[in-house]
Amino acid sequence: MYLNTMKQEKTTLQYLFSLPVIVAALGYFVDIYDLQLFGIVRVQSLESLGLSTKDEISKIGAKIISYQMIGLLIGGVLWGVLGDKKGRLSVLFGSIITYSLANIACGLIPHITFMDKVEAYKWLRFIAGIGLAGELGAGITLVSEVLPKNLRAIGTSLVAGIGLLGAVVATFTVKLSGDWTIAYLVGGALGIALLLLRVGVIESGIYKDVVNKKHVERGNFFAFFNSWDRFTKYIKCIGIGLPTWFCIGILTYFSNEFGEAMGITEKVDPGLAIMWAYVGISVGDLFSGLISHWFHSRKKAIAAMMSFALIGVLFFLFSGGVKSANMLYAICCWWGLGTGYWAMFVTVGAEQFGTNLRATAATTVPNMVRGTVVIMTFLFNLFKPSQGVVMSGAIVGALCFAIGFYSTLTIPETHGKDLDFLEE
């Protein structure tokens, strides 16, 4: 009785600005800073390592992105299982150590003499990808379990809205320092500093209760595939996120190629495109929780935002109205705002499954989506010689948005769902 009274005395602001929420938000901030940094310095860093032609930079850059995304895919499974078996906090500590050290090493690449620098770059981004995979899922799972169900959407949106500004800070760090290696070193240092802040965070009470139930199997990744109901929900969770990474991984990362294909004469900077896209995503994520709260529905909020993003993509590809670099950056912000349901989509993944599989779901789902960028990039490059840059992007986009809308409209609603349950 006394504990319940104490819980009721906490205000909404005290819940939303509690240490777990603040630490999860700052952790995601550093995660996004490091995750998007290669996209921002892709051209600059590869040129400094001796690559000269646009075609060479495009192909090698796409390959390094694929290495990073494959790392995210593997890391998603690794950290997700660990989060359910050993606790949410073990992931928050282990993942940040991994990607912080990898990013510091990326800042030292020009000084590497024992192997090819570009080859080292690929493998360091792969290791960084493994580390980066754990941050968001563990943070969202922890926040979802410590907040009351009526504040979950707002709390997780707050985490993502603050966290996604990491891409903006990464862009300014590159611009102000004038050196891509310094930006990597700063990212690594931010991660190490965050470790100190995490010392005071406590484990989720819901998770602690499950630990005491010795008969409950935790973190079995294959459990998503031994039940048709779990399997379809899991696949649909991944499908919901595809439009977000199509807009970032194809349209924004390769915005310089789209700009050239559209006849924009001035230079398009992919780093600025990423920054403006993430300005939009950050704002969208802050509002997505409020929209879900207003609609009393996760699905309606995601479908509305996905529709807004699709309109921006169609305008960009087919209107013929994008005539300048600044206009292109504005469109990046537009579809960024529409795909700002990222936190909502990860929250839906966490809410679909029981406590003994929740971290596995919330960590693997977003990283499966990130991993599909490898397939998107492959298809984009496959169609490019015959269809051109714009139509290749349109074909890949049509596939991603079709899957996204179908998954959103057919997955079970989770707004207001009680999370204290298990997967048997």
Q: Tell me the average pLDDT of the chain.
A: 86
Pick from 63-67, 124-128, 137-141, 377-381: least confident: 137-141
Residue 204: pLDDT over 70: no
The tens digit of pLDDT for each residue in 329-367 reads 999 999 999 999 987 888 888 889 887 888 788 888 988
How confident is the model at residue 6, as a pLDDT? 42
Does the predicted model carry a pTM greater than 0.85? no
CATH class of the domain comprising 14-201+223-410: mainly alpha
How confident is the model at residue 212, as a pLDDT? 63
Q: Where are the domains of the chain?
A: 14-201+223-410
84-93, 148-157, 262-271, 385-394 — most confident range: 385-394
Residue 301: pLDDT over 60: yes
Q: Which residue has the higher pLDDT, 88 or 311?
A: 311
The tens digit of pLDDT for each residue in 227-260 reads 999 999 999 999 999 999 999 999 998 999 999 9
How confident is the model at residue 292, as a pLDDT? 86
pLDDT confidence bin for 210, thresholds 50/70/90: low
- The full 3-state SS of the chain, as one line of letters, equals CHHHHHHHHCCHHHHHCCHHHHHHHHHHHHHHHHHHHHHHHHHHHHHHCCCCCHHHHHHHHHHHHHHHHHHHHHHHHHHHHHHHHCCHHHHHHHHHHHHHHHHHHHHCHHHCCCCCHHHHHHHHHHHHHHHHCCHHHHHHHHHHHHCCCCCHHHHHHHHHHHHCCHHHHHHHHHHHHCCHHHHHHHHHHHHHHHHHHHHHCCCCHHHHHHHCCCCCCCCCHHHHCCCHHHHHHHHHHHHHHHHHHHHHHHHHCCHHHHHHHCCCCCCCCHHHHHHHHHHHHHHHHHHHHHHHHHHCCHHHHHHHHHHHHHHHHHHHHHCCCCCCHHHHHHHHHHHHHHCCCHHHHHHHHHHHCCHHHHHHHHHHHHHHHHHHHHHHHHHHHHHHHHHHHHHHHHHHHHHHHHHHHHHHHHCCCCCCCCCCCCCC
pLDDT confidence bin for 152, thresholds 50/70/90: confident
Residue 1: pLDDT over 70: no
How confident is the model at residue 7, as a pLDDT? 44
The tens digit of pLDDT for each residue in 107-148 reads 999 999 889 999 999 999 999 999 988 877 777 777 877 888
Percent of the chain with pLDDT over 70: 91
How confident is the model at residue 2, as a pLDDT? 40
Pick from 86-95, 180-189, 230-239: least confident: 86-95
How confident is the model at residue 21, as a pLDDT? 86
